[in-house]
Structure 1
């Protein structure tokens, strides 16, 4: 049996709490632990050990693990059980290929769907990011605040729930795991920020064609920078 992961203490629930509530809480805590690196890529998630650690039956643990697998954060390996994914460089590159198409479309839709107030908030976020990058021009572009992430804001603003769900629920968590596995691209940050500013300008002009092209170029540039680093 694997050693306890020690993500949290036991989950306390009111009398008669439903199993689905336990599963939701476990799913949220395990997702957070995986994304923060407290549960590392390749680490095994032992169902009985998790049930003991959180003070629940195995049923909600099994459901939480199933949802993590659907989200693409864990995988079930025959005769080995459930493990956190350990994405390869090829996985990362494949993800960026699909991301280019999805985010390009999100940008096109956001150009006409987002409000002027949303654009003002997005501009403020970009400027705050720029302040940090100018203080360390060779550093990476780190966006740890999901709600103030440039790409997340555009995905949410495209007003297409299917596209928003694919990006925010599937692609961005897996992308973060890829980055944690292969590292952020040093020296790419300031260039990426300048690309964000150009995308923002096209969005404010409500030019969906140009916004899509610039977003695609932005993600392609990240892909090329990743390739230039070689395998980690």
Structure 2
């Protein structure tokens, strides 16, 4: 029961059904899901470990509020760590896994929203391009940090924050270049392309913030507000 509640709440937070900054009401959620407070508290604790929920003194648990600074810091962290993951994947990924990665990109290519250049949003876990590369790195600590500790927070950013429509197809093509560098067993090139890929996404996000900021001011809105301004469902690629 606790696992089901955790998964359901996680999905609701990531997709914005429970908006950023929302106070978590245990009585309301217990009633809504028809469960006791014990499993619910366990689920909330796990959400806190995923950095989706934070506890504040005299306030209680709330869904995290995502700011421009939070997002850009996360992109800088990802650029370094996922570049390393791509380097290791080029050294360690099996031929079979590389073939599966190519098949995954083929599935992504067939999605209507990508073909129309509207969005490039990937489902979680093994259906996520970056997730597979991180797992293929074989570095246990790197995998824990990116796939356990920060993964769903990154998905929350991706799902709720708008993007320039031109970025979707570009990001997809960049994924293809990363796969080819890994297949060529070229660790330096795989790392370089991955870092450039994530850096380009970060620059895209910075430009979007600047477009929405008042003249003479740097934007620092919550991600939820930016999502509403840019259109729901259009998510920046990881």
TM exceeds 0.5? yes
Secondary structure of 1:75's aligned partner: strand
Structure 2 length normalisation: TM-score?
0.80
1:195 equivalent in alignment to 2:174: yes
- CA distance in structure 2 between the partners assigned to 1:135 and 1:47 by the alignment: 42
- CA distance in structure 2 between the partners assigned to 1:159 and 1:32 by the alignment: 27
How many residues were matched structurally? 210
- CA distance in structure 2 between the partners assigned to 1:207 and 1:189 by the alignment: 25
**What's 1:217 paired with?**
196
Given the alignment, which residue of 122, 132, 139 partners 1:160? 139
Structure 1 length normalisation: TM-score?
0.82
1:7-18 equivalences under 5 Å are: none
Q: Which runs of no fewer than 5 residues in structure 2 stay unpaired?
A: 210-218, 220-225, 227-238
Higher RCO structure (Cα 8 Å, ≥6 apart): 2
User: What is the alpha-carbon root mean square deviation over aligned residues?
Assistant: 1.9
1:44-123 equivalences under 5 Å are: 44-123=23-102
Q: CA deviation at 1:185?
A: 3.5
**What's 2:155 paired with?**
176
> Rg bigger for which structure?
1
Q: CA deviation at 1:87?
A: 0.5
Q: Report the CA distance shift for 1:51/1:217 in structure 2 as closer, same or farther (over 3 A).
A: same
- CA distance in structure 2 between the partners assigned to 1:131 and 1:99 by the alignment: 27
**What's 1:5 paired with?**
none
**What's 2:129 paired with?**
150
**What's 2:185 paired with?**
206
Q: Deviations over 1:206-229 (max 9, x none)?
A: 111110111011000100111111
Q: Report the CA distance shift for 1:143/1:55 in structure 2 as closer, same or farther (over 3 A).
A: closer
Secondary structure of 1:100's aligned partner: helix
**What's 2:115 paired with?**
135
- CA distance in structure 1 between the partners assigned to 2:160 and 2:124 by the alignment: 19
Answer whether contact 2:16 2:160 (CA < 8 A) is retained: no
Secondary structure of 2:62's aligned partner: strand
Q: Which runs of no fewer than 5 residues in structure 1 stay unpaired?
A: 1-21
**What's 2:4 paired with?**
25
**What's 2:235 paired with?**
none
Secondary structure of 1:187's aligned partner: helix
Answer whether contact 1:99 1:171 (CA < 8 A) is retained: no
- CA distance in structure 1 between the partners assigned to 2:45 and 2:148 by the alignment: 15
Q: Deviations over 1:74-106 (max 9, x none)?
A: 111232221111201111111101011111111
